[in-house]
Amino acid sequence: MKNAIIVGATSGIGKELARLLVNDGFRVGITGRRIELLESLKSEKPDCYFIKAFDVNDTKVAEEKLEELTGELGGIDLLILSSGTGNINNKLDFEIELRTIETNVTGWTFIADWAFKYFENQKSGHLVGISSIGGLRGSRQSPSYNATKAYQINYLEGLRQKATRLKTGIYVTDIRPGLVDTEMAKGDGLFWVMPLPKAARQIYTAIKKKKNVAYITKRWGIIAAITKLIPKQVYNRM
Ligand SMILES: NC(=O)c1ccc[n+]([C@@H]2O[C@H](COP(=O)([O-])OP(=O)(O)OC[C@H]3O[C@@H](n4cnc5c(N)ncnc54)[C@H](OP(=O)(O)O)[C@@H]3O)[C@@H](O)[C@H]2O)c1
């Protein structure tokens, strides 16, 4: 039996991945701030889920809870880092930018590094980060969200390079979804929003294949390729 932790499993992609992993025989440690949602997911299959509520920004508590969770599971093979936040911020409200940076950069880095060091010590393991296609270019509507996702993409590449140099069995996967139908992707004028179950299935396939980078879905992969090619002069006017 394999064990995993999903950070950010109270809703959306993390929650759906937790269900897929459990259906595939994993025991899964699920985390997030909303304990009642963790309890609700656990009630679906109480023997398969282990819960710890914490805020990724409280790194001291996060470390304690991750260690407790790993102990209860008896070790982990996989950690999926799905926690994240982002808002439209046309007025550049600094509180929104700060919350995004804290969650998607500071807290996120703490968890990614905790997992990497755990796997380094164990000489095996798989770290998966859910970044975003948004990380490929800047955004006038949500500058901090796209910038923090660019950070995650770059950081995961750095950890992958480190893992390769270590020559142990550590894998680092960067999942870059387009729009997925979750709490985060609400708003007007959204297009090609993927149903959550479809996105989660494709993410899980990419995880099982231990891909370095995966765009979810193929259609969004094409959009990502085009996005990268748009000349700066054109992009600045969009
Ligand atoms: N939906 C999309 O279109 C889309 C596209 C590309 C990438 N993504 C990325 O996919 C990931 C999952 O997002 P989602 O779409 O599934 O949205 P979601 O349903 O809002 O899930 C976000 C998860 O992150 C957790 N979280 C947020 N802030 C946290 C904090 N400070 N401490 C601990 N946990 C925190 C939430 O749990 P609590 O609120 O209970 O703490 C929740 O479980 C995010 O990294 C997002 O950027 C989403």
User: What CATH number should be reported for the domain holding residue 100?
Assistant: 3.40.50.720
In the three-class reduction of DSSP (H, G, I as helix; E, B as strand; rest coil), residue 124 is classed as: strand
State how far the Cα of 228 lies from the Cα of 225, in Å rounded to an integer. 5
Beta-ladder partners of 49: 28
> For 109, which DSSP code?
H
Domain with 58, as residue range(s), is: 3-237
With a 6 A CB cut-off, is 58 part of the ligand 1 pocket?
Answer: no
CA-wise closest residue to 132 among 190, 83, 170: 83
Closest ligand 1 atom to residue 14 Cα is 16
Closest ligand 1 atom to residue 9 Cα is 43
Q: CB of 157 within 8 A of CB of 135?
A: no
What pLDDT does 192 receive? Answer: 87
Structural domain count, the chain: 1
Whole-prediction pTM:
0.97
Q: CB of 212 within 8 A of CB of 173?
A: yes
- 181 CA distance to ligand 1 middle (Å): 12
What pLDDT does 187 receive? Answer: 66
With a 6 A CB cut-off, is 85 part of the ligand 1 pocket?
Answer: yes
- 24 CA distance to ligand 1 middle (Å): 23
Q: CB of 178 within 8 A of CB of 219?
A: yes
What pLDDT does 139 receive? Answer: 94
pLDDT tens track of the chain, all 238 residues? 799 999 999 999 999 999 999 999 999 999 999 999 999 999 999 999 999 999 999 999 999 999 999 999 999 999 999 999 999 999 999 999 999 999 999 999 999 999 999 999 999 999 999 999 999 999 999 999 999 999 999 999 999 999 999 999 999 999 999 999 999 886 667 888 999 999 999 999 999 999 999 999 889 999 999 999 999 999 999 9
Q: CB of 84 within 8 A of CB of 103?
A: yes
